[in-house]
Amino acid sequence: MISRFRGASSVLLAGSLACGDDGGAVSDASSGGSTLADTTGQTAASSSTGGETSTTDPSGDDGDALARYCGDESAAVEDQITAWLAELDVASKVAMMHGVGLLPSGGSWGVAGNAAAGIPGLHMLDGPRGVSKVSGVTATAFPVGMMRGATWDPVLEREVGAAMGREIRSVGSDVLLAPTMNLLRHPRWGRAQETYGEDTHHVGTMAVAFIEGVQSQNVIATAKHFAVNSIEDTRFDVDVTIDERSLHEIYLPHFRRAVQDADVGAVMSAYNSVNGLYCDINPTLLRDILGSEWGFAGFVMSDWVQGTHASVAAVRAGLDVEMPSGSHFGSLVGAVAQGDIDEAELDESLRGVLRAQLCFDLDTDPPQVDPDARETDEHLALAEEVARRGIVLVRNEGVLPLDRALLGEIVVMGPFADVENIGDDGSSTVMPASVVTALEGIVDRAGAVTVTHLPSVSPTASDELVIAGADAVVLVVGLGADDEGEGLVAAGDREGLSLSLPQLELIHAVAALGTPTIVVLEGGGPILVSDWIDEVAAVMIAWYPGMRGGNAVGDILFGDAEPSGRLPASVPVAEADLPLFDNVSLAVTYDYLHGYRYLDAMGVEAALPFGFGLSYTEFSYDELMLSESQVPASGTVLIASVDVTNVGTRRGRETVQLYVAVPGSTTMRSPRDLRGFAQVELDPGQSATVEIEVAMQDLRVWNAEAGGWDPLEPTDYLVQVGPSSATLPLQAQFSVSEGA
Ligand code: BGC
């Protein structure tokens, strides 16, 4: 029996968990052919929920979880670890449970191995948008996580993960400190750019894909920051009070999927505390949920420097590795000598650390330094493709795509037009060899069209003449590294959701000149648009689009690529429409609702709803069908299918979104929740049947009193399908029958 699985405290009924996933498939309606369009590659496992409350027992037993994590080698790996643990002394063990020093050396943050025993150790490096700058080398700067979230394409995200895995190995690292997968509870969060969006299903799907990609390269991915971490300015000290339902139904399912669907190698505990206990010394989070309920078989590391608050208490709570040094864990040698902790408890922690090293073949397939593996043509092309796919067109009054044949001159202006604006200055910073700015990309794609760059902050009299004489003006505005980023090491949380006053004035002044105005909005998350959007002809959100992002902006502007990005977070009309963002108090409360779920519950319309985005073509939705109209309480999945037709004149890619509402529920629920999505790319006039899988586990309610999941509520469920959370033209119903 492997002791890694820390005593389940609240299992009332064992059963296996239905894994949430998208499983979207598309078949061409005309040909009857069937191709996978958007799937995490996961299938839902069977679930035996019976009629009783159950915790999610993910793995059946320890052996299953180990086999999932390690494959066929699992038994041999456990034997090897047992042999090592018998052989090594306490000091050698403790040395493998903390980082070797505050600063990275040789390009990575190290955790010792043991050369004599043949244990390789760990070499860690950020992060979420590519090989971190602290490596000292140049690397591909991918679009930030939020932009990748806007692609809604897990297949593409898996490729990004694999590319980052290859680049991380090329600097001699074997642990990638990514993905950041905390929900964007509020767009003022300074690290909004690092995550994928505001919704647990969407974030989970993208994170699973990324982790699978990274780990396909024998690189350990790190799901961070566990958990409920989404404020920067008080990040080291804030205590988040959260009720059990919000925690289990909203803030944790995406982490569960990282563990159970993607077998993530490592988890990083968050700086903040949750319900009165810092995450690194929080046995509820680490030991009970991550370990016992989910069967996590890898290791938990702390966040850096201020992320460890104890030695013995942390190990007992489930923290395995203190990073980046041993300021607390160094004392574990003495703690064992004094009888404060048993060596066997260290062994339990260390087992996860060693398992990761062996299961990811760090002993037999260590990373090799290889400068040629970074910024390869393939990786640069991927970064550019992701940028094209992540741009979200949110307004187009007939001006886009620009037709080169009809244009003489366009003007490009705005504070970010000729600036390398690829993200914050925090731990996720990447140093690419070069960056294509928006201006450069537009010039490159303009062909014979004259592009005039006006560098002024506000238009001068002569600028006004140039603008009035041009066919269109592109304003590149938004946020930069001075406006948002990681706390303390970078700019921290945003001060508000609006553009700066000078930028607002620029938009008003330029739009008033009458030349069609196209706004390119850069930044890590939602920016208010309601003050000015009606004055301009088009708006595209370009986030922080990575080192080739300018080309993507040019491609979408001139119609060399079709816009297909969709918003991964709602843009409210005003900040007052959202729950309070308090980055001053040291005690905050997170509730059940945020993002589109909060806006819907309040009956407040978003300026730009979650899931929204325009294409240069249009799609129609017909024939929503469900695989079942009656689902037993023990049901695990349901398949919805819908016919989508491209009714416009250009090829395009649609993201079909499926939401579930439970209007007759006896429990408070969100008006609707995203429960699946899939993509389809269609020529004009072409139709396809898109299939989306709904995991019944996602519809269950956490019962705080019983400490487990209730069986599926016996009531009617509405499946709503359409192109965004606010436009759901099709609806179908299924019922869950009691006790079946
Ligand atoms: C961040 C982590 C990061 C670590 C190492 C911390 O401050 O919160 O996300 O991985 O530093 O750079």
pLDDT at 54 over 70: no
* Tens-place pLDDT, residues 556-593: 999 999 999 999 999 999 999 999 999 999 999 999 99
> What is the rounded CA–CA span in Å between residue 394 and residue 150?
12
The closest residue, in CA terms, to atom 6 on ligand 1 is 304
Contact 286, 274 (CB under 8 A): no
Q: Say how many Å lie between the CA of residue 210 and the centre of ligand 1.
A: 18
pLDDT of residue 33: 30
Confidence of residue 11 (pLDDT cuts 50, 70, 90): very low
CA-closest candidate to residue 536, choices 574, 576, 499: 499
- Ordered structural domains, the chain, with CATH: 91-364 (3.20.20.300), 391-563 (3.40.50.1700), 619-736 (2.60.40.10)
- Categorize the per-residue pLDDT at 623 as very low, low, confident or very high, splitting at 50, 70 and 90: very high
pLDDT at 433 over 80: yes
Residues touching ligand 1 (Cβ under 6 Å) are: 126-127, 177, 224, 303-304, 427
CA of 485 to the centre of ligand 1 (A): 12
Nearest ligand 1 atom to the CA of 235 is 8
CA atoms of 735 and 630, how far apart (whole Å): 5
Q: Dump pLDDT digits (tens) for 212-261.
A: 999 999 999 999 999 999 999 999 999 999 999 999 999 999 999 999 99
CA of 7 to the centre of ligand 1 (A): 30
Cα–ligand 1 centroid distance for 268 (angstroms): 9
> Does residue 127 have a cis bond before it (omega within 30 degrees)?
yes
Question: What is the residue-averaged pLDDT of the chain?
Answer: 92
- Ligand 1 atom nearest to CA at 178: 10
Average pLDDT for residues 203-216, to the nearest whole number?
98
Q: What is the mean pLDDT of residues 16-28?
A: 38
How far, in Å, CA of 714 to CA of 174, rounded? 47
Closest Cα to atom 7, ligand 1: which residue? 304
What is the residue with the minimal CA distance to atom 3 of ligand 1?
Answer: 427
* Reported confidence tier of residue 50, pLDDT bands at 50, 70, 90: very low
Could you report the per-residue pLDDT of 77-133, keeping only the tens digit for each? 999 999 999 999 999 999 999 999 999 988 999 999 999 999 999 999 999 999 999
Task: Round to whole Å and give the CA distance between 84 and 600.
Answer: 55
Say whether 703 sits in a helix, a strand or coil. Answer: strand
List of long-range contacts for 81-86, beta carbons under 8 Å, 24+ apart: 81/351, 81/354, 81/355, 81/358, 84/114, 84/117, 84/119, 84/354, 85/347, 85/350, 85/351
Whose alpha carbon is nearest atom 8 of ligand 1?
303
Residue whose CA lies nearest to ligand 1 atom number 11: 304
Atom 12 (ligand 1) nearest CA:
427
Q: What is the mean pLDDT of residues 626-636?
A: 95
Q: Taking a C-beta distance cutoff of 8 angstroms, is the pair 563, 552 a contact?
A: no
**Probe residue for ligand 1, chosen from 177, 305, 322, 488 as the CB with the greatest number of ligand atoms within 8 Å:** 177
Q: Using alpha carbons, select from 270, 310, 319 the residue that is nearest to residue 291.
A: 319
pLDDT (mean) for 186-198: 98
At 61, the pLDDT band (50, 70, 90 cuts) reads low
pLDDT over 90, % of the chain: 89
CA nearest to 170, candidates 430, 374, 431: 374
**Closest among 631, 638, 626 to 740, alpha carbons compared:** 631
Question: Which of 238 and 55 is assigned the larger pLDDT?
Answer: 238
Q: 486 C-alpha vs ligand 1 centroid, how far in Å?
A: 9
pLDDT of residue 52: 61
- Residues 55-81 have a mean pLDDT of 79
- Please name the residue whose Cα sits nearest to atom 4 of ligand 1: 304
CB atoms within 10 A of CB 622: 13
Distances in Å between the Cα of 222 and the Cα atoms of 359, 392, 711 are: 15, 28, 32
* CA dist., res. 606 & res. 570, Å (int): 7
Closest approach atom of ligand 1 to CA 271: 8
Give the whole-angstrom CA distance, residue 200 versus residue 257. Answer: 10
- pLDDT (mean) for 298-323: 98
Determine the Cα–Cα distance for residues 265 and 70; give it in Å rounded to an integer.
10
Exposure string for 161-189, b = 16+ CB within 10 A, e = fewer: bbbbbbbbbbbbbbbbbbbbbbbbbbbbb
pLDDT in tens, 662-719: 999 999 999 999 999 999 999 999 999 999 999 999 999 999 999 999 999 999 999 9
pLDDT on residue 252: 98
Nearest atom within ligand 1 for CA of residue 222: 10
Q: Closest Cα to residue 646, out of 635, 658, 631, 656? A: 656
Atom of ligand 1 nearest to the CA of 127: 10
The reported pLDDT for the residue numbered 28 is 39
Distance 548 CA to ligand 1 centre (A): 25
| Ligand 1: centre distance to CA 681 (Å) | 38
Distance between Cα 90 and ligand 1 center (Å): 28
Question: How many other CB atoms sit within 10 Å of the CB of residue 553?
Answer: 27
Residue 107 backbone class (left: φ over 0; alpha: ψ -120 to 50; beta: rest): left
Among 111, 126, 493, say which to mutate for ligand 1: greatest number of ligand atoms within 8 Å of CB. 126
Cβ atoms of residues 154 and 40 within 8 Å: yes
Mutate to test the pocket of ligand 1, among 303, 325, 424, 488 (most ligand atoms within 8 A of CB): 303
Q: Distance from the CA of 332 to the center of ligand 1, in angstroms?
A: 24
Cβ-based neighbours of 82, under 8 Å, separated by 6 or more: none
pLDDT number for residue 30: 35
Assign 738 a pLDDT band (cuts: 50, 70, 90): confident
Number of the ligand 1 atom closest to the C-alpha atom of 134: 12
Catalytic residues: 303
Q: Which atom of ligand 1 is nearest to the CA of 225?
A: 9
Query: What pLDDT score was predicted for residue 646?
Result: 98
Residue 17 has pLDDT above 60, yes or no: no
Q: How confident is the model at residue 25 (pLDDT cuts 50, 70, 90)?
A: low
CA 482 to chain CA centroid, Å, is 23
Residues in the chain, how many?
740
- Residue 473: pLDDT over 50: yes
Residue 467 is inside which H or E element, if any?
A: helix 461-469
pLDDT of residue 65: 87
Residue 596 pLDDT class (50, 70, 90 cuts):
very high
> Rounded to two decimals, what is the model's pTM?
0.94
What Cα–Cα distance (Å) separates residue 1 from each residue in 63, 319, 484, 659?
8, 21, 48, 41
CB 663 within 8 A of CB 733: no
Average pLDDT over residues 639-654: 98
Residue 64: its pLDDT value, please?
A: 84
Ligand 1 centre to CA of 53 (Å) is 37
* Predicted pLDDT of residue 57: 40
